[in-house]
Every structure is written in C-alpha cells, then in structure tokens.
C-alpha cells in the first residue's frame, strides 16, 4: 500500500479475504470506510483500472447535471470546483462551535440550530467502551442533521476511539480526537459529531437494553400433560 499525490495504490500479492480499510481525508478529516478483497486473476481478466471515490453529495450533483444537460460533463480536478458535501459543512461548523473562537465561525446558508433532547439513551452509541456521553448541541442543513456529543473516559487508562464501534443509523461520524486520556486527566474528554439524514439523532439510536430482565418476574408456564382439554 502506497499513497502519493492524493492517490492510494493497493496491490495484493496473495488472495485477501474481505477486509475493511479506514481512510481519512487529510483536508476535511472525514473518514471513509472501504471494503477490499483480492483473488487470483483469471487468464482472460481485464487489466486493472483506477477507481475514484466521490462523496455521495458530489456524485448526486454530477448525475443531476448530466441528466439535465443530456451530454457528457467533465469533472474538474480543482477541489474548489466540487461543492462541499453537506456532511462536511455540518461537521466543520459543529467542530468550530466548540473549538474555535466565535469570530472565526464560518457561516453556512440555511444552517439552523435545533433542539437537543436531554434524555436520549446514549449508552447504546459506544456500548463496548466505558465512556459517558452527553448531547451538547445539534444543527440542521437541508435534510441532514449533526449532533455533537461530549465523550468522557471513565477508565484509568488511555482508550482509542474507533468509528467502527459506533452503533446506530449514522451517515457519518467524526471524533475530534482519536483517543481519550485516563479519567481525571485533561485529555479524558473530546467531542463526537454524528451525521444523520432524514431525521435527528433520536431516531438513529438503537433500542436501549435495560439492566433488569422484566421477564424473570413472569409466573412459570403451566405444563400441559398432553391430554384432552376440558372446555
């Protein structure tokens, strides 16, 4: 695996089972998960071709222009010519709201702040980590929402934050920092920005599992001896 000039080069020397790679945009910080696999090439297999990953928003915009124009559209290599994805705009705005001076906050047309429920079952977001989560703020732009969660480490050691451990119906997720320091340290807290589409965070969470199994209080089921029942 090599990276040069914004391109990532992968070449397999042996078959590879389906594996998920975690890539990160050096400019926006957005995470991209790519599933790769490799197998022995067939004798008549076509030569390898480069693959370009385009954000969903940019891809839809390109498709719409092609349909309306009815002709081929040339994709510019200039990053400024590609519209910024809504998820990136929301994540950047949320991060600046917490970590940048207010005077440097970049305005975004159509972006509005929305109410943040305080009683969300956030223990289902990162169920495998001993962390405390609290919803701090949320914003909406078009049909996308971003919710900023504060994460605090409850363990006495460093822990790594992996987006693959997140549970829920999220379009994108970005951690402000990649790890958390021990509980009580100045590095034990960071922010998590969750992007949802078509609904807010409440509808994206998995059902909460209670610590008490209420079914244990049910009376034991009666045993049927298999004989005829009397009506």
Least confident of 8-17, 105-114, 141-150, 203-212: 203-212
Contact between 170 and 204 under an 8 Å Cβ cutoff? The reply is: yes
Q: How confident is the model at residue 66 (pLDDT cuts 50, 70, 90)?
A: very low
Convert the pLDDT of each residue in 30-48 to its tens digit: 777 788 888 877 777 666 6
Answer with the residue of higher pLDDT: 163 or 230: 163
Provide the pLDDT for residue 229.
45
Q: Report angle CA 147, 202, 97 to the nearest 5 degrees.
A: 10
Indicate the average pLDDT of the chain. 78
Q: How confident is the model at residue 56 (pLDDT cuts 50, 70, 90)?
A: low
pLDDT at 79 > cutoff 60:
no
Rounded percentage of the chain residues whose pLDDT exceeds 70? 68
Token match 């451990």: residue? 165
> How many other CB atoms sit within 10 Å of the CB of residue 205?
20
Q: What is the mean pLDDT of residues 210-228?
A: 54
Contacts of 216 (CB under 8 A, 6+ apart): none
Instruction: Record the pTM.
Output: 0.59
């Amino acid at each position: 695996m090599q990276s040069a000039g914004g391109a990532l080069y992968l070449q397999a020397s042996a078959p590879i089972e389906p594996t998920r790679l975690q890539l990160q945009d050096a400019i926006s910080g957005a995470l991209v998960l790519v599933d790769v696999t490799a197998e022995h090439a067939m004798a008549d297999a076509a030569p390898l071709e480069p693959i370009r990953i385009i954000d969903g928003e940019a891809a839809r915009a390109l498709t719409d222009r092609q349909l309306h124009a009815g002709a081929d559209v040339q994709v510019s290599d200039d990053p400024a010519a590609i519209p910024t994805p809504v998820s990136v705009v929301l994540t950047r705005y949320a991060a600046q709201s917490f970590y940048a001076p207010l005077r440097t906050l970049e305005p975004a047309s159509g972006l509005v702040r929305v109410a943040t429920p305080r009683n969300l079952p956030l223990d289902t977001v990162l169920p495998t980590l001993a962390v405390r989560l609290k919803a701090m703020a949320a914003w909406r732009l078009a049909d996308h929402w971003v919710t900023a969660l504060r994460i605090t480490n409850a363990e006495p050691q460093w822990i790594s934050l992996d987006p693959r451990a997140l549970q829920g119906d999220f379009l994108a997720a970005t951690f402000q920092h990649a790890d958390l320091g021990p509980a009580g340290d100045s590095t034990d807290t960071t922010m998590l920005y969750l992007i949802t589409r078509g609904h807010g965070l409440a509808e994206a969470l998995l059902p909460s599992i209670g610590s008490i199994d209420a079914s244990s209080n049910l009376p034991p089921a009666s045993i049927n001896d298999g004989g005829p029942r009397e009506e």
